[in-house]
Amino acid sequence: MKPFNFFLQFTSGQRKGILVLFLLVMIFQAVYFFVASYDITREEGHSAEKKEWLAHQAEIDALKAKSNNKKDTIYPFNPNYISDHKGYALGMSIAEIDRLHAFRKTGKFVNSADDFQDVTKVSGEVLARISPYFKFPDWVNEKNKKGKAETGPAFAKTDRPFAKEEKKIIPTDINNALEEDLVKVYGIGPAFAKKILRRRAELGAFGSMEQMDEFTDLSPEAVKGLKKSFYIGANPDVSKININSASLQQLSRFPYFNRNLAKAIITKRSMNGRVVNVDELSKINDFPVDKIKIIALYLEF
């Protein structure tokens, strides 16, 4: 008992304090050992998981390499209609794409890989990579083959395929023409052909080949080709609009009028009782007098 005699020297309150302190130390040590044991167990679990990931790392690296080496599929396309996005995807520079677009705005077309390089100034490496996918109309391919067969390489090099030319076709009534007839004209693509057909549908029929001049986004060569390849047949079935009975909405929908002009026409016929002829209309402000002969084909009084 002597070793504990020193403990009896303390008061009752001091002895209680020492016991509480002793208990707290024991509790803290127990918590420390528990947490340390948990961390070791968790680390062992992570190590096992890490080993499992490393076991599959070779397979993951192989899949990544395969994905990085995958190349986008290039499908056959007409190089005349390359968009900014398409050109960038093909490896063309902005300047090269702009040269092609500027060339196309003149109404001309590239008809071979050589033409494409002459216009865009792409490198031989880019041309060699993308030119196998160029797809031109059949008549262009036939012409190129015929030119090479008849004149040889020397002539083919100097006779540029994007010079003015058009597909020979038998003259056709434009009011009976189909899209495939229109695209035979040099400079007329599917989009322009559809635009011409939409205008014909709005009018019922074309009344004059001079109406081709109204397609201002067509090149002069394309308009000339249309006039040479098509004609207006007898008694075209144009949609007539009665100036004295048509509503504001009907007059506004007429391709040669707008809403302001339609209002002015209704005001004039209200004041005069009726409009007698197209000459009276020509006195209205902003009336398109330069097209008065064509407009007259579609009016009734």
| 192 vs 196: CA distance, rounded Å | 6
**Residue 200 CB partners (closer than 8 Å, separation 6+):** 174, 175, 206
pLDDT at 226: 94
Question: How many other CB atoms are found less than 10 A from the CB of residue 297?
Answer: 16
- H helical segments located in 56-123: 57-69, 84-89, 94-105, 113-120
C-beta separation of 129 from 165 below 8 A:
no
Q: How many angstroms separate the CA atoms of 114 and 79, rounded?
A: 12
Q: What is the mean pLDDT of each run of 10 residues along the chain (301 residues)?
A: 59 78 84 72 60 63 57 78 87 90 89 90 88 84 65 44 50 92 92 94 94 92 92 91 93 93 91 89 90 92 90
pLDDT of 31 reads: 83
Are 195 and 235 spatial neighbours (Cβ–Cβ below 8 Å)?
no
Tokens of 50: 């890490």
Cα 107 from Cα 285, distance rounded (Å)? 35
- Distance from C-alpha of 184 to C-alpha of 159, rounded to nearest angstrom: 21
pLDDT of residue 44: 59
For residue 254, the model assigns a pLDDT of 93
CB count in 10 Å sphere of residue 150 = 9
Question: Beta-strand (E) ranges in the chain?
Answer: 172-173, 230-231, 241-242, 299-300
Question: 112: which DSSP letter?
Answer: S
Angstrom distance (rounded) from CA 289 to CA 286: 8
**CB-based contact 210:204 (threshold 8 Å):** no
Q: pTM for this structure?
A: 0.45
